[in-house]
Copies of this chain bind each other. A is one copy, B any other.
Amino acid sequence: MPTTPPQTEPRWLTPEEQHLWRTFMRMRQELDAQLARQIQAESDLSIADFSVLVVLTDVPDGRVRVLELARNLQWEKSRLSHHLARMVKRGLISRAECSEDGRGSFVLITDAGREAIEAAAPRHVELVRKLFFDPLSGEQLTQLTEISERILGAMQGCPALDPDS
């Protein structure tokens, strides 16, 4: 029998499962797209810029180690490095070397950066509310929290094919 061994017929999705999967994926995608378009149009920041700046404004001195950023955003270091370079070029952040660790480097938010995010944030939250929170009941919010945590949990246990971290 020359067939590849463990080829039990895969458990394809039932019609309802398929419907859920497709709806979920489309929702994700559309949500991203809308948020991206809005933030881009109104503030000439990208979602990526925005999330970097959020982290920077969350810490008291607006100063974070690169690797800390990477862990926080769950980005690979390469992507982060490239992105930070662009953000420096646009004056949103700047860098400082790290005295404790000669290899390391700090990222710090500039005044322009702070200005940019403070201008963009209110409209952004407003849209997040309108598209994500407002359509859902309080009960659904609880449910979705639980659901997200479950799925996330299932993946943490799955070191699968994880290059970084």
A residues contacting B by CB (< 8 A) are: 7, 10-13, 16-17, 19-21, 23-24, 26-31, 34, 37-38, 41, 74, 121-122, 125-126, 128-136, 140-141, 143-155, 158, 160-162
Contact = CB atoms under 8 A, between A and B. Distances in A.
Contact of A130 (B125, B134, B154): B154
A110 B160 CA distance: 31
Q: Give the number of copies in the complex.
A: 2
**Main DSSP-derived SS at the A contact region:** helix
Of all A-B residue pairs in the complex, the 8 with the closest CB atoms, nearest first, are: A10-B122, A135-B154, A27-B148, A23-B148, A135-B150, A37-B161, A143-B143, A27-B152
Given A23-B148, A74-B29, A140-B143, A153 B135 contact: yes
